[in-house]
């Protein structure tokens, strides 16, 4: 095949030591190294005036092209339309959406700008792969500029039900733009079903079978590609002896305290307020566990310039304070709430040292933390995953204790059940989950998507 061209809002440059290369960045970098290629996107910098050209960094066979954004464009495109309209809407939070024509114009402008600056970097046999809700219109812009190469798009968030999506003033333009790609990928059957529902009932398109649909005058392939993790790496790290002081404590004192863990960006979609309330319900109902179990909630701040995120930060701090105020003792706090990031080695040690992984988003495209928790466990003494039915991961990890995060009693019951679960049952459930996680890895996800895109055009 020709080169791979990846376009995403955030770009991780291989040589940037400061950037914490997450699993996705590493997987994409591997593919770019293999085929050679370009990774294009926002530099992460906000400047007074958007430059007329991207900054180019070459590392081996990969060209990184990153563009700074002016304060105005960043406010409209990223803080505005992407994170105050699309993100809440795609996560079923109509109550938190703030639609604005000005934000939408900024979003369109950035997508046009990305397309025009990417154009000169393209070669005739490139395979173009665009990521996530920030860049839906990019493909249509490239098509308008004459690019007829295969173009794929992967949505990392949920795709909402038609009744929710149609609340967006520009819903039709957005879905039409999605149809400019040859291949559109989603995490779960649910997302795909919602998309097809829109195509048939709102866009007047048709389903042709064999993953193909026809809409807005184009034929495209739509398919599910559930994203995975670098399972081997997590298993390998999990098997090492604990090294950090923090986690040595966790592991060396397993009997005087039991830990539950949550690891999430501080986002309202993650259900953190509801999680704290469910844990409070558990402590209300299980006096015996007071003083013995602690919820460690790691939640680094995210998108802090967006008002709805400022609000959730405030709300959670209050909630943690109230809960600790109600139950803490001189030598025990029920919630250990940490607003910071940790490196992967530390996270694995936290996961492995915790008897329960409490992953209860109100809505989540996939939720990689759930998979990371399972992969980090000791096979001889695995912890229990308590997982929201509204996380994409619940489709694959149905051997977890599946809960409704809106139902505090249900979550409290699952915590209690998890803490009492016999070793044999823990092992059986873990075995079922790890098999899935070992099969659907991040590499498989990436390779499957690229292989499907290589078959385009599909007509």
Question: Would you give the DSSP letter of residue 391?
Answer: B
Separation of alpha carbons 169 and 160, rounded Å: 15
Separation of alpha carbons 374 and 200, rounded Å: 38
Q: Which of residues 325-364 bind ligand ADP (CB under 6 A)?
A: 341-342, 347
Exactly one of 91, 156, 171, 187 is catalytic; name it: 156
Separation of alpha carbons 405 and 47, rounded Å: 40
Q: Which of residues 95-154 bind ligand F6P (CB under 6 A)?
A: 132
Q: Which residues contact 57 (CB under 8 A, 6 or more apart)?
A: 13, 15, 63, 64, 66
> What is the closest distance, in whole angstroms, from the C-beta atom of residue 346 to ligand F6P in the complex?
19
Task: For ligand ADP, give the closer residue by CB, 177 or 393.
Answer: 393
Active-site annotation holds for 447: no
Both tokens assigned to 367: 């939720």
Question: Would you give the DSSP letter of residue 306?
Answer: S
Question: Would you give the DSSP letter of residue 94?
Answer: G
Exactly one of 126, 364, 410, 413 is catalytic; name it: 364
Q: Can residue 300 be called a binding residue for ligand ADP (CB under 6 A)?
A: yes
> What is the closest distance, in whole angstroms, from the C-beta atom of residue 237 to ligand ADP in the complex?
12
Q: Which residues contact 151 (CB under 8 A, 6 or more apart)?
A: 128, 129, 130, 139, 142, 143, 180, 181, 182, 183, 453, 456
Separation of alpha carbons 309 and 301, rounded Å: 8
Task: For ligand ADP, give the closer residue by CB, 10 or 112.
Answer: 10
> What is the closest distance, in whole angstroms, from the C-beta atom of residue 150 to ligand F6P in the complex?
22
Cα 145–Cα 147–Cα 148 angle in degrees, nearest 5? 140
> What is the closest distance, in whole angstroms, from the C-beta atom of residue 293 to ligand ADP in the complex?
21
Only one of the segments 68-76, 189-197, 289-297, 367-375 lies at the binding site for ligand ADP (rule: CB under 6 A); that segment is 367-375
- Pick from ligand ADP, ligand F6P, none: which does 10 bind, CB < 5 to 8 A by kind? ligand F6P
Q: Which of residues 297-356 bind ligand F6P (CB under 6 A)?
A: 302-303
Residue 72, beta-bridge partner list: none
> What is the closest distance, in whole angstroms, from the C-beta atom of residue 82 to ligand F6P in the complex?
8
* The binder of ligand F6P chosen from 103, 156, 281, 446 (CB under 6 A): 156
> What is the closest distance, in whole angstroms, from the C-beta atom of residue 362 to ligand F6P in the complex?
15
SS3 string of 2-48? CCEEEEEEECCCCCCCCCCCCHHHHHHHHHHHHHCEEEEEEEEEEEC
> What is the closest distance, in whole angstroms, from the C-beta atom of residue 267 to ligand F6P in the complex?
8
Separation of alpha carbons 303 and 184, rounded Å: 26
Q: Are 39 and 128 in contact (CB under 8 A)?
A: no
Q: Which H or E run contains 167?
A: none
Q: Which of residues 7-66 bind ligand ADP (CB under 6 A)?
A: 22-23
- Pick from ligand ADP, ligand F6P, none: which does 341 bind, CB < 5 to 8 A by kind? ligand ADP
Task: For ligand F6P, give the closer residue by CB, 306 or 399.
Answer: 306
Query: What is residue 353's three-state secondary structure?
Result: helix
Q: Are 7 and 28 in contact (CB under 8 A)?
A: no
The residue among 187, 206, 170, 237 whose CA lies nearest residue 373 is 237
Binding mask 253-282 for ligand F6P (x = CB under 6 A): ------------------------------
Active-site annotation holds for 131: no
Task: For ligand F6P, give the closer residue by CB, 132 or 396.
Answer: 132
Task: For ligand F6P, give the closer residue by CB, 86 or 400.
Answer: 86
* The binder of ligand ADP chosen from 141, 182, 319, 372 (CB under 6 A): 372
Binding mask 203-242 for ligand ADP (x = CB under 6 A): ----------------------------------------
Task: For ligand ADP, give the closer residue by CB, 367 or 441.
Answer: 367
Task: For ligand ADP, give the closer residue by CB, 166 or 190.
Answer: 190
> What is the closest distance, in whole angstroms, from the C-beta atom of residue 379 to ligand ADP in the complex?
21
Q: Are 367 and 327 in contact (CB under 8 A)?
A: no
Task: For ligand F6P, give the closer residue by CB, 219 or 313.
Answer: 313
Separation of alpha carbons 456 and 452, rounded Å: 7
Question: Would you give the DSSP letter of residue 121?
Answer: G
- Please report, for residues 113, 257, 340, 351, 353, the alpha-carbon distance to residue 251 in angstroms, rounded to integers and kept in the order given: 51, 10, 21, 11, 5
- Pick from ligand F6P, ligand ADP, none: which does 105 bind, CB < 5 to 8 A by kind? none
User: Which spans of this chain sit near ligand F6P (rule: CB under 6 A)?
Assistant: 10, 132, 156-157, 302-303
User: Which spans of this chain sit near ligand ADP (rule: CB under 6 A)?
Assistant: 22-23, 263, 265, 298, 300, 341-342, 347, 366-369, 372
Q: Which residues are known catalytic residues?
A: 156, 364
């Amino acid at each position: 095949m020709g080169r791979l061209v990846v376009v995403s809002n955030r770009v991780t440059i291989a040589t940037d030591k400061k950037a914490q290369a997450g699993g996705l960045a590493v997987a994409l970098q591997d593919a770019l190294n293999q085929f050679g290629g370009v990774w294009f996107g926002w530099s992460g910098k906000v400047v007074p005036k958007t430059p007329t050209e991207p900054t180019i960094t070459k590392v081996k066979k990969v060209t990184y092209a990153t563009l700074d954004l002016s304060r105005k464009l960043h406010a409209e495109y990223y803080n505005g339309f992407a994170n105050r309209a699309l993100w809440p809407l795609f996560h079923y939070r109509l109550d938190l959406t703030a639609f604005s024509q000005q934000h939408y114009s900024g979003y369109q402008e950035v997508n046009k700008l990305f397309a025009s600056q990417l154009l000169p970097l393209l070669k005739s046999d490139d395979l173009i792969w665009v990521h996530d809700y920030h860049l839906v219109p990019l493909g249509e812009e490239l098509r308008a500029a004459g690019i007829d190469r295969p173009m794929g798009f992967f949505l990392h968030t949920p795709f909402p039900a038609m009744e929710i999506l149609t609340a967006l003033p520009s819903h039709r333009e957005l879905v039409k733009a999605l149809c400019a790609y040859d291949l559109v990928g989603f995490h779960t059957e649910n997302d795909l079903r919602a998309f097809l529902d829109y195509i048939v009932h709102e866009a007047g398109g048709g389903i042709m079978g064999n993953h193909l649909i026809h809409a807005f005058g184009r034929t495209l392939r739509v398919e599910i590609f559930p994203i995975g993790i670098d399972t081997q790496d997590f298993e390998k790290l999990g098997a090492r002896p604990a090294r950090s002081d923090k986690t040595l404590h966790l592991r060396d004192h397993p009997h005087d305290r039991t830990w539950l863990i949550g690891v999430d960006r501080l986002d309202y979609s993650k259900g953190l307020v509801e999680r704290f309330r469910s844990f409070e319900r558990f402590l209300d109902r299980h006096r015996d566990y007071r003083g013995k179990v602690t919820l460690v909630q790691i939640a680094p701040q995210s998108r802090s310039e967006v008002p709805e995120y400022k609000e959730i930060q405030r709300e959670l701090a209050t909630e943690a304070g109230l809960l600790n105020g109600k139950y803490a003792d001189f030598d025990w706090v029920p919630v250990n709430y940490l607003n910071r990031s940790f490196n992967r080695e530390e996270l694995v040690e936290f996961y492995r040292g915790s008897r329960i992984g409490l992953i209860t988003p109100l809505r989540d495209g996939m939720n990689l933390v759930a998979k990371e928790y399972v992969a980090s466990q000791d096979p001889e003494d695995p912890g229990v995953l308590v997982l929201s039915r509204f996380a994409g991961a619940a489709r694959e990890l149905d051997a977890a204790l599946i809960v409704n995060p809106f139902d505090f009693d249900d979550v409290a019951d699952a915590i209690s059940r998890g803490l009492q679960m016999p070793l044999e049952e823990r092992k059986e459930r873990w075995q079922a989950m790890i098999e899935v996680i070992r099969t659907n890895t991040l590499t498989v996800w990436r390779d499957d998507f690229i292989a499907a895109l290589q078959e385009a055009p599909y007509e």
